[in-house]
Amino acid sequence: MPEGITAEILMNNIMETISDSVSKQKSVSFFEEEKSNSVTSQFNRLFGRQKPVHHLLGGGKSADVLLWRNKKISASVLAAATVIWVLFEWLNYHFLTLVCFVLVMCMLAQFVWKNASSILKRSPSKVPRLVMPEEVFVNIAKMVGAEVNRGLSFLQDVACGRNMKQFLVVVASLWVAAIIGSWCNFMTVLYIGFVAAHTLPVLYERHEDQVDGFVYKVLEQLRHNYRKLDAGVLSRIPKGKLRGKKAD
């Protein structure tokens, strides 16, 4: 009996040891796979970024509006842009007409506010003055000028550089923008860009992994097609070196 009990205990110990080793191997492989997947997903972020979307958009109040951190403010901004677009595009209002109507409504409101005290026999109330600070216009002009200069500098660098791939991408992008501009006017293009800026970032933040995987598949297909184009056409184009002429 003791020998049978000892053998049975010994077999149980061996089976427990084997099951523990198998479970450890499975857990280790699972964690290694999870780690490799996390590293791969971190490596395949869109455009190789390593910072969150909120930080890339500036990390301030503008980023909060674009990512709908405060739904009331974001919805109000998008609704205001939609109202402006409807007034100009669907109702065919002109900018000068709309400005004059707004000024007339403001003057009527101030007129009623100023004269309501005498009608209601109350003490005259002080009408608030609307004053726009000069720093706002100066900052807007500086920001617009800096962005325009940066865009022109980028286009000149691409045109004068030797990166054929970047040159073709920029030319194709401008060609697509020209086609879109022929379909609709400038106001509609601005509205489409405004709506895209208020919807695409938040959708990308919520479905980040799926979008990154899809975009990288598309980019890989484009690289494959570009390699074929480069091997068949672009590599046969003679590349001449530009040399500056010395002044006599």
**Which tens digit of pLDDT belongs to each residue from 159-208?**
998 788 788 888 998 998 888 888 888 888 889 888 988 888 888 888 87
Residue with tokens 């484009």: 222
pLDDT digits (tens, 9 = 90+) for 21-40: 445 444 444 334 444 444 34
Burial class (CB in 10 A: 0-12, 13-18, 19+), 234: middle
- Residues 78/198, Cβ–Cβ less than 8 Å: yes
Predicted TM-score of the model (pTM) = 0.55
pLDDT digits (tens, 9 = 90+) for 134-144: 888 898 899 88
pLDDT for the residue numbered 97: 87
pLDDT for the residue numbered 82: 93
C-alpha angle 138/142/147, rounded to 5°? 150
pLDDT for the residue numbered 156: 92
Mean pLDDT of the chain: 75
Distance CA 53, CA 203 (A): 11
Helices and strands, counts by H and E, the chain: 9, 0
